Chains A and B, each alone.
Chain A
Amino acid sequence: MHKRSRWLGGLILLGLAATLTFFRIPLASSQGLTLRSAPVTGALPVSDPGSALWLEATAIEVPLSAQNVTRPMLPDTRVKTVTARALHTDSQLAIMVEWADETHDDSMIRVQDFRDAVALQFPLAAGQPFFCMGQQGGNVNIWHWKADWQADIAARADMNTLYPSMHVDQYPFTAAVDPLAVAPADYVDPNYLPALASGNLFASATRASPVEDLIAGGFGSLTAQAAEGQNVQGYGAWADGAWRVIFARDLTSSEAEDVTFAAGQVYSMSFAAWDGANGERNGQKSTSQWVGLQLGAQTDGAAQPDQPRPSQSSAAAPSDPLGMLYVFGPMVLVAGLIMALAGGALALSALLRPKDRP
């Protein structure tokens, strides 16, 4: 009787794991969250985090955890949660992300300096690919705001920003009169800034937006869209130990690499954040799982009723075997392990029993 109940317990666990997998019932706490974008009229406050309009949007708290699937990893990332709000008009969407960060890291000049940053991620096809950078055949569109790019818009930082007492006789192949003030734009031959010559946006002489528009289809595949395809605007400001960063883009885009939005529809999105002071960059980051993004219909003037699992209501069924493997594989493994342990314990007790009763 005793033995049978243990086996039964193991089977129940395995069954539970299989059921969860089959019905795609998520265990992570951020799943089931929905960011409801409030429809507004007039101009969106795309560069004003303090605008009263943001109060019309319902804020959600999105829990973040350290990326722990691929190397490099940093188990103790610092951003544990972000607060998100969204507003839209009939032509534009704006999302504001806030998070606590005691240090204001907006420089990338010195070798040991890393920037604060935040990113939004949207699947490019119906369903949900792997929540971290998408997967092969499941591309994602990523909007990546960078604190140093934000600072660059006011004044592009360079070596003399960090080293005001530096001296240099000359930089060849530049047209500048004052060598200390040489900027990438002053190079008559950009080959001496090979990243600039190869079209790398990081080396751009000027920046129109602090947000980079990218595409990814799995770890290591992150690729910036072409300069002419950079169409996400943004603004970020740090005050009193917190960042408030706004992303804004037209609801529609003609580019295949861009997500598009329509009022009344539900989308998936996820968040990632980096604390530069902690050396966070690349996959050494805090990330959320998929949450819903719902654009309230313009006619209502108010948010749509609750939908507990927004991603389920989208028309196409998700088909992401790799993502499912990452999320549910460990559960099946744990169930298997418990069964093996239970079996081992049973075998041990069976072995020991005769000795107890000589």
Chain B
Amino acid sequence: MAEVYNWHLGRSMAYAFPEAHPQKQFAAVFNINRCIGCQTCTGACKATWTFSRGQEYMWWNNVESKPYGGYPQHWDIHILQRLDEAHQAAGKQAEWDQAQAGESAPYGVYQGLTITEAAGAEQQALGYIPPDTEWRAPNFYEDTSTGYQGDRLGISTAGASLPEHQTWFFYLQRLCNHCTYPACAAACPRKAIYKRPEDGIVLIDQARCRGYRKCVEQCPYKKSMYRGTTRTSEKCVACYPRVEGSDPLSEGVPMETRCMAVCPGKIRLNGLVDIAADGSWAEAPNHPLYHLIKIEKAALPLYPQFGTEPNIYYIPPRWAPRPYLRQMFGPGVDEAIARYAAPSRQLLAVLQLFRTTQRMIFRFEIEEGPLVLETEVNGQPWQMFNDTVIGFDAKNREVARLSVVEPIHERPAERLNSI
């Protein structure tokens, strides 16, 4: 075991391999608040990669309704339970020390055990293999909320109001996190799993895989999947021909993955961020992902306590109970929701960039516009400006230009009834 630095945890941790970082890292931000649960992402992925024999239950991208849904069923509850048992056995608490938060520890310091640290001497990480029964109903509990508290007729007397709804669910969009410290790669006894130096995409070498399913067992997010037809395991490939810019449509520049590019709810923003030699994100305040994650801290990693440093980040849902969200996204939840509810001029502008182009945006510029709204958010004054955000692709070409206020086109009177 080597010591590696995990900035999500704000500390060093044990991992199977010493630090070796890619030049760029595949990453994305998902805005849970905007997801309508339409599964277009799921279908796009399925129709691109997993429509063949033996992949029937394989959904590299899925959207599940939290708190009850999960694919495979209850995957997060299963691993959280194992992690909790390990903490109890070790007499430790899975707590965060937010007082130690700083530049290299934006959420504070995690003082509990990761799945690697809780593994013991015999395995690389805590884990389990979900049986086929847990994979084959990928959207169980769809749209199922927590228990409704109504009056005798079932009607809520108070209604639902922020900041926390009493009756709630939200959609969680999931794919492989292309982790900085992938548990699947650590788990594979024959090193058939590798992380690409050019973009940090994690792949299973189909020539070397021997179907041991250690990756299925030890990926805490359960995004390595076994294929009985080939007797090997497969996983999300991050649509690497698109990310490489080798897809004919991409005109030689990196392009968002299929699941990102089809999103009707415009909840996804996908890109490549520059990684410094020490594994930290190279400072790039005008990169939309860097801005959302590192500057605004509006988007957070999923279950950072697992310790794999996942690279899909989520803007948490404003209406869900905070203790649940803190367990899922770590201690940064309250700040992230506060920032999202009353966004800065820059954040509001960057949020417009989601799903405006298939090309990955590497840089943005903001042209300031006039003040258009003055109001109060959560008791504080808040101003909205009609700024314009411009996105640029890998070749520094303008690929997106949007204003905060959506342009309105009024139909002239003589054409009122025209289609």
Contacts and interface: CB of A to CB of B under 8 A. Distances in A.
Interface of A: 70-75, 108-112, 148, 158-159, 162, 166, 168, 171-174, 182-184, 187, 192-200, 202-203, 219-223, 279, 281-283
The 3 A-B residue pairs with the shortest CB-CB distance, nearest first, are: A109-B228, A203-B230, A198-B207
B209 interface: yes
Interface stretch (B19-27, B102-110, B210-218): B210-218
Interface in B226-256: 226-232, 234
Interface majority SS on B: helix, strand, loop or mixed?
loop
B382 interface: no
30 contacts: A71-B123, A71-B124, A71-B189, A72-B122, A72-B123, A109-B228, A110-B131, A111-B130, A111-B135, A111-B216, A159-B54, A159-B228, A172-B52, A174-B53, A182-B53, A193-B230, A194-B206, A195-B206, A199-B207, A200-B206, A200-B208, A200-B209, A200-B232, A202-B230, A203-B229, A203-B230, A203-B232, A220-B190, A220-B191, A281-B212
Contacts of A184: 53, 229-230
Nearest to A158: B229
B132 interface: yes
A148 B52 CA distance: 21
B129 interface: yes
Interface in B48-82: 51-54, 56
Contacts of B231: 108, 148, 195, 202-203
B230 A158 contact: no
Contact of B230 (A72, A172, A200): A200
Given A166-B56, A203-B230, A282-B214, 5 more contacts: A71-B122, A108-B211, A111-B225, A194-B230, A221-B190
A282 B189 contact: yes
A34 B124 CA distance: 36
Chain B interface size, under 10 / 10 to 19 / 20 to 34 / 35 or more: 35 or more
Given A71-B123, A193-B53, A198-B206, A112 B191 contact: no
A61 to B, nearest CB: 27
B214 A72 contact: yes
Contact of B131 (A111, A166, A197, A283): A111
Given A75-B122, A110-B132, A111-B131, A158 B54 contact: yes
B234 A194 contact: yes
Interface string B268-301: 0000000000000000000000000000000000
Given A72-B189, A182-B53, A111 B229 contact: no
A182 B124 CA distance: 37
Most buried by A among B53, B130, B209: B53
Contacts of B54: 158-159, 193
Interface in B184-211: 187, 189-191, 205-211
A158 B122 contact: no
A111 B51 CA distance: 18
Contacts of B209: 195, 200, 202
B186 to A, nearest CB: 9
A135 to B, nearest CB: 16
Given A72-B123, A112-B129, A171-B53, A282 B190 contact: yes
Interface string B117-135: 0000111100001111001
Contacts of A281: 211-213
B114 to A, nearest CB: 16
A162 B228 contact: yes
Nearest to A168: B56
A282 B210 contact: yes
| Residue among B51, B209, B210, B213 facing the most chain A CB atoms (10 A cut-off) | B210
Nearest to B186: A71
Nearest to B234: A194
A192 B52 CA distance: 7
A197 to B, nearest CB: 8
Nearest to A146: B231
Nearest to B122: A73
Contact of A196 (B208, B210, B230, B234): B230
A341 to B, nearest CB: 23
A279 B127 CA distance: 13
Contacts of B207: 195, 198-200
A151 B321 CA distance: 52
A111 B226 CA distance: 6
A36 B124 CA distance: 40
Contacts of A193: 52-54, 229-230
A221 B121 CA distance: 22
Which residue, B56, B121, B216, B230, has most C-beta atoms of chain A within 10 A? B230
Contact of B232 (A168, A172, A182, A202): A202
A220 B189 contact: yes
B213 A158 contact: no
A173 B210 CA distance: 25
Nearest to B213: A111
A274 to B, nearest CB: 11
A203 B55 CA distance: 14
Nearest to A73: B122
A39 B124 CA distance: 47
Contacts of A73: 121-123
Contacts of B124: 71-72
Contacts of A74: 122
B419 to A, nearest CB: 36
A69 B231 CA distance: 27
Nearest to A75: B122
